[in-house]
């Protein structure tokens, strides 16, 4: 049995290391529940042995260490953390301490968004700085990046000389899934959960990368408002809303702690239906003067508490591992699990990523394993339970051959993945066909996986180009394919011939070339022929293209089979050129713009054309449905109206960055004095 002193030292080390992994490396190795348990034990031991409390204990400071990469920002008001409770009793204790002083407390109950804190400062209504929390006192300056988050206004309708607001930046679950697919396609390590993806996306030195990630935010706290007092938390939330800052619509005012508990149950029931992750609820005493009277400890307010939802983990058995061959030949292992109920669904499979991951997790077939839903979405094995082994477990063999065609499986230099070396592997062909027809590629409606399997089985197609040789006679005789669906499919195939060049390049499934890279390539190469004759050196002259991507492209086009494929596609009339209309990514879909004043790099008409090409609308007057006012020089009265309505106001430069016509300046140069907003 270790002494209290020894255990305290051990716990502090565990927590410090976990903090470093979580905050600095964005690669947590403990679950929240494990971390909370260690922290609770340390707090308990320190409470029992006050003489052992030291200033550097993790209980005595707000956790986190600022990264070195960004300029530091000293927060004028400390960004506090929250104490946690895990059950009704914990909540009642919190309530009891408050009722000892304030007999009838009302509480604002808010969703605890699982993202990362951001503080945004507005001076005279203009965003001048955004920073991460860091250690609560000093954070990182991420102004340039936060400015790329569309839901956070650059300007708000207030006369206050200084307003500091606090919120949570998050990545919606579906954007996280999309980003991870993209990462895997490009051979980059996927993010563990949406929180890490949000943190990784925000801490990018190049704001263009942040801008390309779908981040969003909810605001929940006013750190400082010069010359303005708020009587209650509800009033603060209301003010944030009036400022046009995103505020969670589910926040609710409760009359007592029992109502808070009922609200929490309501939130828990909808948790999995929400488009973003939450990990609990935050309960805040509503009355601000009572908050002030209660004050705070060195790291947490006494007037607020986080109730953390129970960790959703389940134990099951790893029954088998199946291998799937992807379109690039990557052999991906998937865990087959004894079906188990978790977070609202039955789980029978989990991704294992690659064979290094299997080794790192020390997994054997037959193991008892603990699973969770990473970021609430993808089932993942957290750990195996080696103590439960009985000797019958079997190692998971590293594949020497492709499970589909039996060709050699090899591991590329510096890669985690094993790949089938046979370019004609039927599994690769099937996946390539599937990918070619998907929405982000050639978008052939009606040609889903089942139809592709059927066409392959019936030997109507043996490669991508064969799609364009299909005819009515072949299709109508197929099972489950009537004349009408056959005609629809043929129409969709014919329609796909008109797709723009970036889609076709994406659809070819060139290694390391996803949608974004394809679009980037087409800014420089406007025909397939010109791209095909580009050298590695030529390609590397494009900003975003590094040596690996350039090499992949050149290797792809050097292959006889690939050249023949392109030749056939051309022959069947598939478009091989870039054309501008309707094919650009619809970045501005659903957004309405108004232009005012004189623009320096284009006419207002041209600017409007850019908006329309990107799926947005242009209006001539300011109204509630307008999202952005773009101001040139000598702008008139529209400005004041936009401010009153809380419409975001952009400079021409910001508009150009938003529409991808111009690179954003690097974060360090985004000082407000150098880049005035208006």
Sites of contact with ligand IVH (CB under 6 A): 80-82, 110, 112-113, 117, 168, 220-221, 282, 301, 304, 306
d(CA 436, CA 461): 14
d(CA 657, CA 647): 18
Min dist. Cβ of residue 221 to ligand IVH (A): 5
d(CA 577, CA 500): 7
3-state secondary structure of 143: helix
Residue 304 or 455 with smaller CB distance to ligand IVH: 304
Give, in degrees to the nearest 5, the angle at Cα 92 between 91 and 96. 120
CB 32 within 8 A of CB 112: no
- Angle, to 10 degrees, between the axis of helix 194-202 and the axis of helix 173-185? 70
Residue 11 or 222 with smaller CB distance to ligand IVH: 222
DSSP annotation of 26:
S
51-73 CB burial, b ≥16 within 10 A, e <16: eeeeeebbbebbbbebbeebeeb
Beta bridge partners of 429: none
The reply to whether 112 belongs to the active site is yes
d(CA 66, CA 637): 43
Min dist. Cβ of residue 279 to ligand IVH (A): 8
Pairing status of strand 216-225 against strand 313-325: unpaired
Tokens standing for 619? 């209006």
Residue 264 or 648 with smaller CB distance to ligand IVH: 264
d(CA 296, CA 139): 20
d(CA 661, CA 678): 19
Min dist. Cβ of residue 34 to ligand IVH (A): 16
CB 430 within 8 A of CB 402: no
Residue 271 or 428 with smaller CB distance to ligand IVH: 271
Min dist. Cβ of residue 38 to ligand IVH (A): 16
Min dist. Cβ of residue 164 to ligand IVH (A): 12
Which of 591, 596, 631 shows the shortest CA–CA distance to 614? 591
Residue 300 or 332 with smaller CB distance to ligand IVH: 300
Tokens standing for 361? 């997790």
Catalytic residue among 43, 78, 96, 112: 112
Pairing status of strand 368-374 against strand 378-384: antiparallel
Tokens standing for 578? 């870039």
Q: Active-site residue numbers?
A: 112
């Amino acid at each position: 049995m270790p002494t209290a002193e020894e255990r305290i030292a051990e716990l502090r080390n565990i927590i410090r290391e976990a903090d470093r992994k979580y905050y600095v490396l964005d690669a947590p190795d403990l679950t929240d529940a494990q971390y909370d348990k260690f922290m609770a034990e340390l707090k308990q031991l320190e409470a029992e042995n006050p003489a052992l409390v030291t200033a550097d204990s993790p209980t005595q400071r707000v956790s986190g260490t600022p990264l070195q990469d960004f300029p530091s920002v000293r927060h004028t008001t400390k960004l506090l953390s929250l104490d946690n409770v895990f059950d009704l009793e914990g909540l009642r204790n919190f309530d009891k301490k408050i009722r000892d002083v304030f007999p009838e407390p009302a509480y604002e109950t808010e969703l605890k968004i699982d993202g990362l804190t951001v503080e945004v400062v507005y001076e005279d209504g203009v965003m001048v700085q955004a920073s991460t929390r860091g250690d609560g006192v000093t954070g990182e300056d991420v102004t340039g990046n936060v400015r790329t988050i569309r839901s956070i206004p650059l300007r708000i309708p207030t006369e206050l000389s200084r307003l500091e607001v606090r919120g949570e930046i998050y990545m919606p679950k579906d954007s996280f899934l999309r980003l991870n697919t993209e990462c895997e396609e490009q051979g980059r390590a996927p993010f563990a959960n949406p929180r890490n993806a949000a943190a990784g996306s925000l801490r990018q030195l190049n704001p263009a990368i942040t801008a390309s990630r779908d981040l969003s935010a909810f605001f929940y706290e006013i750190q400082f408002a010069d010359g303005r007092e708020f009587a209650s938390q509800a009033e603060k939330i209301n003010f944030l809303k009036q400022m046009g800052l995103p505020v969670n619509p589910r926040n609710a005012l409760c009359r007592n702690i029992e109502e808070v508990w009922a609200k929490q149950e309501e939130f828990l029931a909808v948790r999995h239906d929400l488009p973003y992750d939450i990990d609990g609820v935050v309960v805040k005493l509503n009355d601000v003067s009572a908050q002030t009277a209660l004050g705070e400890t060195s790291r947490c307010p006494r007037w607020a508490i986080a109730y953390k939802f129970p960790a959703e983990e389940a134990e099951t058995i790893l029954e088998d591992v199946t291998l799937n061959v992807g379109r690039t030949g990557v052999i991906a292992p998937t865990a087959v699990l004894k079906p188990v109920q978790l977070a609202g669904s039955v789980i029978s499979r989990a991704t294992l990523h690659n064979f290094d991951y299997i080794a790192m997790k020390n997994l054997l077939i037959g193991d008892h394993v603990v699973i969770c839903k990473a970021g609430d979405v993808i089932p993942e094995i957290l750990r195996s339970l080696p103590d439960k082994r009985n000797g019958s477990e079997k190692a998971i063999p590293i594949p020497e051959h492709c499970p589909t065609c039996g060709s050699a499986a090899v591991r590329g230099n510096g890669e985690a993945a094993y790949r089938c070396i046979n370019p004609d592997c039927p599994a690769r062909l099937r996946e390539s066909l599937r990918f070619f027809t998907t929405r982000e590629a050639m978008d052939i409606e009606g040609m889903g996986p089942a139809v592709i399997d059927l066409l392959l089985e019936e030997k109507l197609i043996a490669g991508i180009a064969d799609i364009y040789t299909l005819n009515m006679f072949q299709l109508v005789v197929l099972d489950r394919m009537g004349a009408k669906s056959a005609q629809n499919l043929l129409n969709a195939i014919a329609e796909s011939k008109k797709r723009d060049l970036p889609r076709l390049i994406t659809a070819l499934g060139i290694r390391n070339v996803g949608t974004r890279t394809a679009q980037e390539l087409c800014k420089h190469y406007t025909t397939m022929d010109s791209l095909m004759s580009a050298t590695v050196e030529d390609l590397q002259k494009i900003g975003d293209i590094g040596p690996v991507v350039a090499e992949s492209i050149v290797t792809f086009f050097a292959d006889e089979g690939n050249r023949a494929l392109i030749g056939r596609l051309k022959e069947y009339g598939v478009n091989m050129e870039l054309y501008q209309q309707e094919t650009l990514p619809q970045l501005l879909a659903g957004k309405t713009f108004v232009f005012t004043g004189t623009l320096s790099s284009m006419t207002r008409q041209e600017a409007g054309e850019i908006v329309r090409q990107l799926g947005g609308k242009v209006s001539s007057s300011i109204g509630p449905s307008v999202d952005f006012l773009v101001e040139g020089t000598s702008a008139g009265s529209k400005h004041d109206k936009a401010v009153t309505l809380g419409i975001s106001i952009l400079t021409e430069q910001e508009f150009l960055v938003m529409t991808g016509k111009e690179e954003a300046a690097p974060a360090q140069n985004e000082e407000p004095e150098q880049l005035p907003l208006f």
